[in-house]
Chain A
């Protein structure tokens, strides 16, 4: 069975989607079959980012209207990656997003089971690495993603609010679910690839500086593929190595 990685953060706008997307792109470039799934049903990003309009959304799968395999669009021909790079998008339409706010606990319990089934099917169809782009904070969708993940990458930005809220989530969610987790410090004032740093007792894989050309990058062509020497790409490479190490240890 392959490995499932959830990219999460305690607060919004920390760079989860940007990092998840680039990790997925780089790993598929290296030859892994990668599946990137938009678990941020209350604030979907991947459809807009990659201009994807699939016949079936991840929402349809959770509503029992289709199989998980029906939602994926394969970007490997377009991005010319060696491995397969499939993306499952959540529906960004306001009606669909509002609907997520109306579902009850039972629906979320069933969503968790469906997510476990989806994982099985995704790995059976040849995916090596499943990457879950989650919404920020403690939402049902995010915690469901964390619950089914093998590895949690939590993105932290260097300010008091982020540290404080990450600490709550580390203790109250990651530890409770006994997840292997790493921090990624993003929008940092320093660039640090090598130093063994820990925050809140959790290893920091990398500190990525604030880089203005990342902010405006539309990601249709992820930086990690177009610009291999970019500081951001170097940081993504380090994160990918950590995932690979985890895979081989498993």
Chain B
């Protein structure tokens, strides 16, 4: 997008644009993860240092508000789909899905499939 185009946009429009791009990136990453495409280095680092550890409460307090809200609901539910969570947080399902997948990549949340649905959980048990 050109600079003059951006300047003509309102703050809300810019945010909307950014959100769309992020959702798109997110989908691509999910696609790669499901196809087991190796994302070099970063993925390996998360695996070793974070995936095994899960989320501690001080880290939870330091998360940005939108992610903290998502994690909090997940703590209460044990495990849930993006849709379950979006009903409680009153955000779009796609938005919650984005947050949840971000948390998965950070190594704080587990993701698994049951039937046709994708579930997320804090604890390891499925």
Contacts and interface: CB of A to CB of B under 8 A. Distances in A.
Interface of A: 105-106, 108-110, 112-113, 116-117, 140, 143-144, 147-148, 172-173, 176-178
B75 A147 contact: yes
Contacts of A140: 56-58
Nearest to A110: B54
A143 B69 CA distance: 16
B55 interface: yes
Nearest to B125: A117
21 contacts: A105-B58, A106-B52, A106-B53, A109-B53, A109-B55, A110-B54, A112-B54, A112-B56, A112-B57, A113-B54, A113-B122, A113-B123, A116-B75, A116-B123, A140-B57, A143-B57, A147-B75, A148-B75, A176-B61, A177-B60, A178-B72
A50 B75 CA distance: 33
A202 B68 CA distance: 22
Nearest to A179: B72
A119 B115 CA distance: 29
A112 B57 CA distance: 7
B59 interface: yes
Nearest to B73: A178
Nearest to B68: A176
Contacts of A178: 69, 72
Closest 7 CB pairs of A and B: A109-B56, A106-B53, A109-B54, A108-B56, A143-B57, A105-B56, A113-B123
A110 B54 CA distance: 7
A147 B52 contact: no
Given A143-B58, A177-B61, 9 more contacts: A106-B52, A106-B56, A109-B55, A109-B59, A112-B55, A113-B123, A113-B124, A116-B75, A116-B122
B55 to A, nearest CB: 6
B61 A173 contact: yes
A204 to B, nearest CB: 25
B100 to A, nearest CB: 18
A139 to B, nearest CB: 10
A108 B61 CA distance: 14
Nearest to A105: B56
Contacts of A144: 57
A113 B61 CA distance: 16
Contacts of A177: 60-61, 72
Contacts of B72: 177-178
Contacts of B122: 113, 116
Given A110-B54, A147-B75, A177-B72, A105 B123 contact: no
A232 to B, nearest CB: 32
Contacts of B123: 113, 116-117
Nearest to B49: A106
A106 B58 CA distance: 11
A153 to B, nearest CB: 19
A117 B54 CA distance: 15
Interface in B30-71: 52-61, 68-69
Contacts of B53: 105-106, 109
Nearest to A176: B61
Contacts of B54: 106, 109-110, 112-113
